[in-house]
Amino acid sequence: MKDNQATITEAKQCYLDNWYALLLAELIGRVHHAMDEVMAGLYYTGQTPLLEHIKPGHDPARDLTKIDQPHLANRTIYEAITHPAFGAAIVAITGAKRIQWWLIVLLVSWFVFVVSSLSGGSPR
């Protein structure tokens, strides 16, 4: 694993320059399969995420798919979101004294998958 301080420094600069930061890729990488499972309707916790944004006629191959609270349906997503290192990295990058999750949202777009695949990037 890359030196944690160097990773935080790079993420902080990205946040300052672009208003977003990519951090803890190893931790976040573990949730890719879990997100696919939630998208496929596999809810291993027995709880269903909030799907009120998916209406009749919704086509995941064409439409942006929004699933609120996916961590309720999948333990891997929950563990990533609540991992102490994730919160610590956000505090280090933003300088916040405290953070609180208000809503976890899973957004999936087929367009992003296709463009990323065609450009040689990872589809995730």
The DSSP call for residue 63 is S
Q: What are the pLDDT tens digits along the chain (124 aa)?
A: 455 555 778 878 888 888 777 666 777 777 888 888 888 889 999 999 987 777 778 787 778 888 899 999 999 999 888 888 778 888 888 888 888 888 888 887 765 544 444 445 554 4
d(CA 89, CA 10): 11
Helix, strand, coil in percent for the chain, rounding step 5: 50, 5, 45
